[in-house]
A and B are shown apart, each in its own frame.
Chain A
Amino acid sequence: QITLKESGPTLVKPTQTLTLTCSFSGFSLSTSGEAVGWIRQPPGKALEWLALIYWDDGKRYSPSLKSRLTITKDTSKNQVVLTMTNMDPVDTGTYYCAHRGGNYYYTFHIWGQGTMVTVSS
């Protein structure tokens, strides 16, 4: 059974860097084909894909946010970390990590519960 859980600060100040951790179980990011993605959702608004990291350490970023994002993995800890620099109030929202792999190679099958991040001074 695959599970994911996001963790990180609930409140960050403008211009600060946000660091979020996705801890997962039920699969290994060292297995060919596996990947973990990050998606966010401002309050009352639509989902927005942010980043994806593959088993082979390949990384993909949203073109509009690429300059601010870094995604890394720690295979031994079953964790994926997303950092976002220069946070702004418009970055307020719920941040989700999700599993992509297996029979669901091109889709996000299992999602974490999400973590709410507020950007405010």
Chain B
Amino acid sequence: QSALTQPPSASGSPGQSVTISCTGTSSDVGSYNYVSWYQQHPGKAPKLMIYEVSKRPSGVPDRFSGSKSGNTASLTVSGLQAEDEADYYCNSYVGSSNFYVFGTGTKVTVL
């Protein structure tokens, strides 16, 4: 099972929006609405930001949103803030094999 493909980097100015893609296959992202997104600051554990494609856990700002089209999922951060600068990873549950695959990670820089 190969890692999901994410762009290495993305950036935006404060207040702007940035969208990160996560491309898988018809066996993972394309087949299941179980895509999650994690935010990771340097030296910290990942934090769940989006689950089941577009749901936000309690406490996550509504500036974070998720979507999916075909084999590609996306995370959009609107109204960028300095604290949004971090690494972001997508993750998909692969139901047919009952395991998980992570994305390659995207470093978001707030200019």
Chain A: residues with CB nearer than 8 A to chain B? 37, 39, 45-49, 52, 60-64, 96, 104, 106-114
Contact = CB atoms under 8 A, between A and B. Distances in A.
Contacts of B52: 106-107
Given A107-B34, A107-B91, A111-B46, A47 B99 contact: no
Interface in B62-83: none
State the main secondary structure of chain A at its contact with B: loop
B89 A104 contact: no
B93 A106 contact: yes
B26 to A, nearest CB: 18
10 contacts: A46-B105, A47-B46, A47-B89, A49-B102, A52-B100, A62-B1, A62-B99, A106-B93, A109-B57, A113-B45
A9 B93 CA distance: 30
Nearest to B103: A46
B48 interface: yes
Q: Chain B contact residues (Cβ within 8 angstroms of A): what range?
A: 20 to 34
Q: Kindly list the 6 A-B residue pairs having the minimum CB-CB distance in the complex, ordered from nearest.
A: A49-B100, A106-B34, A107-B51, A107-B36, A111-B45, A47-B102
B88 to A, nearest CB: 11
Contacts of B100: 37, 49, 52
A45 B103 CA distance: 11
- Output the residue of B97, B99, B103, B104 with the most chain A CB within 10 A: B99
B22 to A, nearest CB: 12
Given A47-B38, A106-B32, 4 more contacts: A46-B103, A47-B105, A52-B99, A108-B36
Contacts of A49: 91, 99-102
B18 interface: no
A63 B48 CA distance: 24
A119 B47 CA distance: 27
- Output the residue of A60, A62, A107 with the most chain B CB within 10 A: A107
B50 to A, nearest CB: 9
